[in-house]
Structure 1
Amino acid sequence: MAASSRESSTAPRHAREIPGWDRETDVVIVGLGCAGASAAIEASRAGAEVLVLERAGAGGGTSAVSGGLIYCGGGTPVQEKCGFADTPEEMYKYLMASCGPGPDEAKIRLYTERSVEHFLWLVEQGVPFKESFYPDGGSEPPTDDGLVYSGTENAYPFNEIARPAPRGHCTQAEGAAGGLLMRKLLGAVERADVKLQANTRCEALVLEDGGIVGVVARVERSAYYVRARRGVILATGGFIYNNDMVETYAPLLGRCSYRVGTEGDDGSGIRMALDAGAAAIRMDAGDVSLPYYPPHQLMRGILVNRYGQRFINEDAYYGRVGEFALLRQEGHVYLIVDDEIFARPKGAMELAAVGETPAELEAELGLPTGALESTLAFYNKHAAQGQDPLFHKSRACLSPLTHPPLGAFDCRVERALYAVFTLGGLHTDTSSRVRTPAGEIIPGLYAAGRTTSGLSAQGYSSGLSIADATFFGRRAGASAARS
């Protein structure tokens, strides 16, 4: 281990600058969340000697504090046991419609075709799934049920594009199950005889002949040089905890009150790769959730903008609602309810106003005179007939708001819980190889998970992050081992 006086930097080093390699291995993996763990398992299975460098004291990362939900479909055993028919083609049509604009068609096609195989791989690693369905969709269930609607599959417009099916596969634990998921994956990593070096922070990539041949890390205050004979895999998470990067690339996301992730989501892997000539895409994209339900009776209310107008079907997945509220309505939104459906939302949300009539309520909110009155009159007229001609909300969520008093929950971004994480990252192909801005492959460099731009370009369904990270983490491990 060589001491270094050079300031910490993500700028790449050339191999000729390295005073001596402290360690050599076939594949170096940076980060041990679910992407890094999946990469390690597959690289080892392919015969490579694998070393994982983890900045924390142990593996887990953001995956360990997640809900443990995995978006799988196409006809998994859990789907079939619960009585839901699904095919890779229906899953493909839904993801292409909901993960855009501009989703990666090749990645979505590959994942949907191999999603059942990937689910079985997770089971092989010891991840448990109960063959039961939780009927109240949204995100991970509070029970240990194994299947849930975790997106907008059964709401407009997607229920007219693809046959709805629940695809949120829940690791079997009550509530958030990311910890159990990671314990199972880390156990598989241990069985694969992968070497782990914790408390080691990677700072830069090492270049030689146009490719990546190693990393510069730091152990305590000393530089530590590791040569990778076959490849380096970056699995370091996103950048939601890097204020400078959020302000530069995705300033709207910085307005959200709750950042989903850990301090490890600081964009370090992205920055190392960018400095080494990589391309990043969709860096302004993020998942923005506005959890105004459960209770699900609140879907029978209406969401209005600063002009008193509806802008979405309220039975949509709250990740889609959050995206529309922040990105299309500048985060200025209210949820209108009447006394019949009144309940406190799941998220941190307070009443902004109460009124006996629509006119009183809009005056309290400072909305344009007559706007909310007109919106409610039109909505109530059609809801009484089981119709929503503007946004096609399902009949089950339609009822006239005619029981005073009326209330408005404050869903403005400064006042309500908006949960957010980044979706943009390094540009990779279906083998998890990192590309340059010209579209060329950087030899020896791979990436997976939130370090990359994956299945989703903008729209999101719960469970896609872990699905993306584990599937393309596997692809990264296998690709690097074969190179």
Structure 2
Amino acid sequence: MSEQGAAGDEYDVIVVGSGGGLIGAYTAASHGLRTLVIEKTPYVGGTTSYSGAGIWLPGNAAEQRAGVEDSPEAARPYLDAIIGDDAPVALREAFLQAGPRMIDELEQNPLFQWFEWKGVPDYFEGRPGSLAQGRTVFPPDFPRAELGSLEPLLRRPLWTERWGVHPGLQLIGGQALIGRALLAYMETGNGSLRVNTALQSLLVEDGRVAGVVALQDGEQVTFRARRGVILAAGGYERNGELRRSFQPAVGDEWTQGCEGNTGDALTAGIAVGAATDLLEEAWYAPGLVVPDTRPVFYTSVWSGIWVNGEGERFMNERLPYDRAGHEMLRLGQLSTHWVFDQRQLDNERAFATLPVAPEVPGWFDVEKFVEAGVLKRADTLEELAELIGVPAAALIKSVDQFNGYARAGKDEQFGRGEAPWDLMVTHLAGAHTDGPNPVLGVIDKGPFYAATIVLSDLGTKGGLRTDEHARVLRTDGSTITGLYASGNTMAPMSGRIYAGAGVPVGSSMAFSYIAALDLAEQG
């Protein structure tokens, strides 16, 4: 087992990026292919290591163990209905067929035993094939010490990077998934890893991709690949220039993506003739503005309402996060006011049990937030309106109207509290009201507060076009021999939508796996 590959070495497969691409690297190495993973940053894991590691793969073994009646065939009409023509049918069919097979193969290795189903509803309720109980599975926690000498290579949790808290003795969520994958990959005996190694360009010989040119610790190195290269280096969310080019309304300052995700693999693919699609898209999510760091990924409100600059409510604040982000973008509400009352703060669970809450004790420090100016506080709604610069009469009207809905138990304006996702979120947070619908608590207990919600994202999602084998395509539809893509480097099989919790991680894993199998079958 080696953590280093010698400069200039030749491999069967080279994987660029160490998030979901590690599953492809493990698959290639476990099938006997000499494999190299190069990672731009000092740490393995990318944005996947920040995630909760939800994995959306219809019909997998973990669902079956939990008694969930599901299959690729059951999920097909759901994806067909919500994706439509935004992505090729062949891609989602490949994804559906590969998911259960991948989980079965992974679970043959004790390091991947056993994935666990947890009830997270699909994000588009009422569509054909949608499951209210959800399809998302998760890796079990993993003792950090099990990584041994590999442990320093693992990217720290997001909250450790941002707040400096201890990373913990147990790897959870994305940390557990990456830790398990890294160890499994290295234990194959066919895997090498080079960190601090940034892709510069693809090596093309006789019309095929034959390797990569990279910069390692300031020195240019070339690695050759006998069979092919898998580009799995995330999106371009941390590249301000590319975002201004493809997503002019959205900058890079509010993203949750890993700092290494600057689109190097995307631009390298384009340079050798790759076609692209959906570059204007991202995995959007509301972000709560906090002091001294990037916004916190905030799946939805527990109580209160969002109002625009006119003091008017404009959407269902509990939409699944990507749907909420797209609605904010559609309406041009890239920054909005979250107005709530003291009830929100009295419910300790409402902040402590966010689905992706910071693992930081007391992270929502009211006095610190007020002092920093990211949270406004006032004894009356009139005073709060003045602090946030909206018309007082409009804000009072919006709150009064919502309070009427809360007391009646039905949001007549936007239908908040009717979908399985809404109810799941409420269950996690705990009801903050004894009203007929806990999702619609009244806003009447001063003092009143206003925080800022901005349009954040978990990464960009447009990328290189591929076929159902994850082979990168040219603009004329032909394949670029030896080049594959997955994850956020690849134009997504899910098109413009986010079907359910774990689609980004699940599809990244699945297409990395598909690519590795295609490479292994070349013989």
Q: TM-score range by the shorter chain?
A: 0.7 to 0.9
Aligned partners of 2:74, 2:440: CA distance in 1, in Å?
A: 31
Deviations 1:393-451 (A, max 9, x none): 225444362524373422243xxx94542112111122111012232211121111221
Q: Which residue of 1 aligns with 2:484?
A: 446
1:437 counterpart letter in structure 2: T
Aligned partners of 2:17, 2:98: CA distance in 1, in Å?
A: 25
Are 2:219 and 1:226 aligned? Answer: no
Query: Which one of 409, 417, 421 corresponds to residue 459 of structure 2?
Result: 421
1:128-207 → structure 2 map (5 Å cutoff): 128-129=113-114, 131=116, 147-149=118-120, 153=123, 158-159=125-126, 161=128, 162-173=130-141, 176-199=172-195, 200-207=197-204
CA separation of 1:113 and 1:223: change in aligned 2, threshold 3 A:
closer
1:399-414 → structure 2 map (5 Å cutoff): 399=440, 401=442, 403-405=444-446, 407-413=448-454
Aligned partners of 1:114, 1:182: CA distance in 2, in Å?
A: 20
Q: Name the SS of the counterpart of 2:317 in structure 1.
A: coil
Are 2:309 and 1:306 aligned? Answer: yes
CA separation of 1:381 and 1:218: change in aligned 2, threshold 3 A:
closer
Aligned partners of 1:423, 1:220: CA distance in 2, in Å?
A: 29
Report the TM-score, using the length of structure 1 for normalisation.
0.78
Are 2:112 and 1:127 aligned? Answer: yes
Instruction: Give the unaligned 5+ runs of structure 2.
Output: 1-6, 142-169, 289-295, 358-363, 419-436
> Contact 1:334/1:408 (CA < 8 Å) preserved in 2?
no
CA separation of 1:120 and 1:208: change in aligned 2, threshold 3 A:
same
Are 2:13 and 1:27 aligned? Answer: yes
Shift of 1:30: 2.5
Query: Which one of 375, 378, 397 corresponds to residue 351 of structure 1?
Result: 375
What is the alpha-carbon root mean square deviation over aligned residues?
3.5
> Contact 1:337/1:401 (CA < 8 Å) preserved in 2?
no
Shift of 1:101: 8.3
Shift of 1:84: 4.0
Shift of 1:172: 1.6
Q: Name the SS of the counterpart of 1:68 in structure 2.
A: coil
Aligned partners of 2:495, 2:391: CA distance in 1, in Å?
A: 35
2:112 counterpart letter in structure 1: V
Aligned partners of 1:297, 1:425: CA distance in 2, in Å?
A: 28
2:104 counterpart letter in structure 1: L
> Contact 1:281/1:424 (CA < 8 Å) preserved in 2?
yes
Aligned partners of 1:250, 1:323: CA distance in 2, in Å?
A: 13
Q: Which residue of 2 aligns with 1:43?
A: 28
Aligned partners of 2:305, 2:19: CA distance in 1, in Å?
A: 39
> Contact 2:285/2:324 (CA < 8 Å) preserved in 1?
yes
CA separation of 1:147 and 1:196: change in aligned 2, threshold 3 A:
same
Are 2:70 and 1:86 aligned? Answer: yes
Q: Which residue of 2 aligns with 1:7?
A: none
2:26 counterpart letter in structure 1: I
> Contact 1:382/1:388 (CA < 8 Å) preserved in 2?
yes
Aligned partners of 2:440, 2:481: CA distance in 1, in Å?
A: 58
Shift of 1:474: 0.8
> Contact 2:311/2:392 (CA < 8 Å) preserved in 1?
no
Q: Which residue of 1 aligns with 2:521?
A: 482
Aligned partners of 1:73, 1:406: CA distance in 2, in Å?
A: 46
Query: Which one of 275, 278, 283 corresponds to residue 282 of structure 1?
Result: 278
Shift of 1:219: 4.5
Query: Which one of 91, 106, 128 corresponds to residue 107 of structure 1?
Result: 91
| Identity score, percent | 26
Q: Name the SS of the counterpart of 2:284 in structure 1.
A: strand
CA separation of 1:97 and 1:82: change in aligned 2, threshold 3 A:
same
Q: Which residue of 1 aligns with 2:205?
A: 208
> Contact 2:299/2:320 (CA < 8 Å) preserved in 1?
no
Deviations 1:246-296 (A, max 9, x none): 232224442543532132x12111111111111222222112322569999
Q: Name the SS of the counterpart of 1:254 in structure 2.
A: coil
CA separation of 1:299 and 1:459: change in aligned 2, threshold 3 A:
farther
CA separation of 1:107 and 1:165: change in aligned 2, threshold 3 A:
farther
> Contact 1:65/1:176 (CA < 8 Å) preserved in 2?
no
Q: Which residue of 2 aligns with 1:241?
A: 238
CA separation of 1:402 and 1:423: change in aligned 2, threshold 3 A:
closer
CA separation of 1:419 and 1:227: change in aligned 2, threshold 3 A:
closer
1:49-88 → structure 2 map (5 Å cutoff): 49-56=34-41, 59-74=44-59, 76-88=60-72
CA separation of 1:109 and 1:374: change in aligned 2, threshold 3 A:
farther
Instruction: Give the unaligned 5+ runs of structure 1.
Output: 1-20, 132-145
> Contact 1:79/1:166 (CA < 8 Å) preserved in 2?
no
Deviations 1:344-374 (A, max 9, x none): 75676743353545x6654554334643344
Shift of 1:94: 4.4
Report the TM-score, using the length of structure 2 for normalisation.
0.72
Aligned partners of 1:99, 1:175: CA distance in 2, in Å?
A: 34
Segment of structure 1 superposing worse, 200-209 or 54-63: 54-63
Segment of structure 1 superposing worse, 421-430 or 40-49: 40-49
1:28 counterpart letter in structure 2: I
Deviations 1:70-99 (A, max 9, x none): 22333x444345454434345344445666
